[in-house]
Amino acid sequence: MSRGDDLDRWLDGHRGELLRQLIDWVRIPSISADPEHTADVRRSAEFLAAAAGEAGFPRAELWETAGHPAVFAERMEDPRLPTVLIYAHHDVQPADPLDEWTSPPFEPVVVEGELRGRGVVDDKQNVCMHLEAVRAHLAVVGRMPVNLRLLVEGEEESGSAHFEDLIRSRRSELAADLAVISDTGMLGPESPALTIGLRGLVYWEVRVAGPAHDLHSGLYGGTVANPVLGLATLLAGLHDGEGRVAVPGFYEAVRVPGAAERQEMARIPFDEAGFLAAAEVPGPSGERGWSTLERRTVRPTLDVCGIWGGYAGAGAKTIIPARCGVKLSARIVPDQDPDVIADLVRRHLLDRAPAGLTTTVEVVSRGRWVSAPPDHPALGAAGRAVEAVWGRAPSLVREGGSIPPVAAIAAELGLACVLFGVGLPDDRFHAPNERLRLEQLHRGTRAAVRLWDELGTLGAAGLGRPAGPASPG
């Protein structure tokens, strides 16, 4: 098809600009979890709003929240065309441990066809991909085949605390026929995929306090409760010997996949060996009776994300720590309710709180899982766009990660969601030396260009809009 070829040629001719834009953006350390980077998250939003304006969105602005700002951009081509809401995020994970990066996290470098830096793949590349697809359409065709509303939040990596409030208060400006979520990935460079499920996330911080200050472990050792030993006992009681979460009721609402679904999952070209090799672990581990792919997608988990307390410096310091803490996260699956799970774990920890110490549990964030119907026409359109670029139909997969705002978009805005993103499992999301393989970015941009054409061909009615002249919003 000549139009696709023309668009591809334009994209090929502009790779340098695309890469430069991404690099400039990655230089801004938009770490939303760290209050020291508050100004950087705002700088990142301002960078993006300017870039969206230049790319061809007549309206591009910051949307303030009680936390970090989101970016909204809009290009309404024709009210009769389908309107698509794109969701992504411009904030990034913290970069520590810093000493494990081979190059500074916010000084992105291109090495052997990949770009390295914090946020290159999660999630700035997906946003750049979408901006580039718009530029291509406008340059080659002169117009977009769909109306676009772009919402890029600034708090995804720290729990999206204000996202629901934001979309509730902006509901009419976000009206659309479909949401395209770009914060997921594929199975491998030659194993394209579209995501039809995400796990939910509940995050706790647990603190155990003992003496008012650190005590000399000689003077006090043996006489008072040690907070770290108390916390260790709490943590050791979170799982049973079979790798199952030992919190009563934790599995009660879990939708257990049937034999047919398990067979279908077994056919997905999931590279378990590669997946484990990327983590450099000796082997898989977890709940007995389920495959690795099942354990990371349709089974819930409870993990420790961090622990601290007392002396962690060089050499020996002989103290009984005054206090310690731990960060816990659960990935939850249909039909677990995040509020119920948040409370079950909190109560479980408080019920077993060690004697002589003060245990507190704070629920830091909670987000629902997502489960999309595999027969939605937009998913078919996305499948054709991906197949045209990769030469094979994408697998429909469930993901282990969580994007709480996707659940909010589905629930609050009543939108069907297509999850389209091009990161790969070994791209070191959230880890040192996060990387983006540039070939994925370029293929993804070609697919995005085609996705808008496919959705334009489908038309608003094909996406389920009731007959009538009005565009949503």
Q: Which residues contact 201 (CB under 8 A, 6 or more apart)?
A: 329, 330, 331, 332, 338, 365, 366, 367, 402, 404
> Counting contacts by CB under 8 A, is residue 188 touching a copy of itself?
no
Among 433, 459, 464, 473, binds a copy of itself (CB under 8 A): 433
Please confirm, yes or no, whether 91 is among the known catalytic residues.
yes
Q: Cα separation of 391 and 453, whole Å?
A: 18
Geometric angle at alpha carbon 472, from 467 and 473, rounded to 5°: 150
> Counting contacts by CB under 8 A, is residue 120 touching a copy of itself?
no
Among 187, 206, 326, 460, binds a copy of itself (CB under 8 A): 326
- Measured from the CB atom, the residue of 10 and 290 that comes closer to a copy of itself is 290
Place of tokens 């006992």: 233
- Measured from the CB atom, the residue of 32 and 44 that comes closer to a copy of itself is 32
Q: Give the tokens for residue 411.
A: 């629930």
Buried b / exposed e over 399-432, threshold 16 CB at 10 Å, is bbbbbbbbbbbbebbebbbbbbbbbbbebbbebb
| Helix, coil or strand: residue 419 | strand
Contact string (CB under 8 A) for a copy of itself, positions 196-235, x = contact: ---x-x-x------xxxxxxxxxxxxxxxxx-xx-xxxxx
Q: Give the tokens for residue 24.
A: 């400039």
Which of these ranges, 13-21, 89-97, 436-444, 454-462, lies near a copy of itself under the rule CB under 8 A?
Answer: 89-97
User: Cβ 282 to a copy of itself, closest distance in Å?
Assistant: 6
Total residues belonging to the chain:
473
Place of tokens 């389209």: 420
Among 29, 338, 400, 405, binds a copy of itself (CB under 8 A): 400
Q: Give the tokens for residue 358.
A: 């003060």
Contact string (CB under 8 A) for a copy of itself, positions 4-43, x = contact: ----------------------------xxxx--------
Among 61, 173, 287, 337, binds a copy of itself (CB under 8 A): 287
Please confirm, yes or no, whether 412 is among the known catalytic residues.
no
Among 53, 94, 464, 473, binds a copy of itself (CB under 8 A): 94
User: Cβ 126 to a copy of itself, closest distance in Å?
Assistant: 16
Among 65, 301, 395, 471, binds a copy of itself (CB under 8 A): 301
Q: Cα separation of 187 and 74, whole Å?
A: 31
User: Cβ 253 to a copy of itself, closest distance in Å?
Assistant: 17
132, 156, 427, 453: the catalytic one is 156
User: Cβ 312 to a copy of itself, closest distance in Å?
Assistant: 4
> Counting contacts by CB under 8 A, is residue 60 touching a copy of itself?
no
* Region for residue 289 given its phi and psi (left: phi exceeds 0; alpha: psi -120 to 50; beta: otherwise): left
Geometric angle at alpha carbon 448, from 158 and 373, rounded to 5°: 70
**Residues between 140 and 169 with contacts to a copy of itself, criterion CB under 8 A:** 157-159
**Residues between 256 and 285 with contacts to a copy of itself, criterion CB under 8 A:** 275-276, 279-285
> Counting contacts by CB under 8 A, is residue 104 touching a copy of itself?
no
Count of positions on this chain that bind a copy of itself (CB under 8 A): 101
User: Cβ 50 to a copy of itself, closest distance in Å?
Assistant: 27
Q: How far is CA 42 from CA 34, 68, 451, in A?
A: 13, 7, 30
Going by C-alpha positions, the residue among 144, 93, 187, 169 that lies closest to residue 408 is 169
- Measured from the CB atom, the residue of 215 and 422 that comes closer to a copy of itself is 215
**Residues between 344 and 373 with contacts to a copy of itself, criterion CB under 8 A:** 355-356, 364-365
* Other residues' Cβ atoms within 10 Å of the Cβ of residue 38: 15
74, 91, 114, 399: the catalytic one is 91
Q: How far is CA 289 from CA 195, 276, 293, 333, in A?
A: 24, 18, 12, 17
Which of these ranges, 77-85, 109-117, 174-182, 423-431, lies near a copy of itself under the rule CB under 8 A?
Answer: 423-431
Q: For the purposes of burial, counting CB atoms within 10 Å of the CB of 229, is it exposed (0-12), middle (13-18) or buried (19 or more)? A: middle
- Measured from the CB atom, the residue of 159 and 192 that comes closer to a copy of itself is 159
Among 4, 188, 249, 325, binds a copy of itself (CB under 8 A): 325
Catalytically active residues are 91, 156
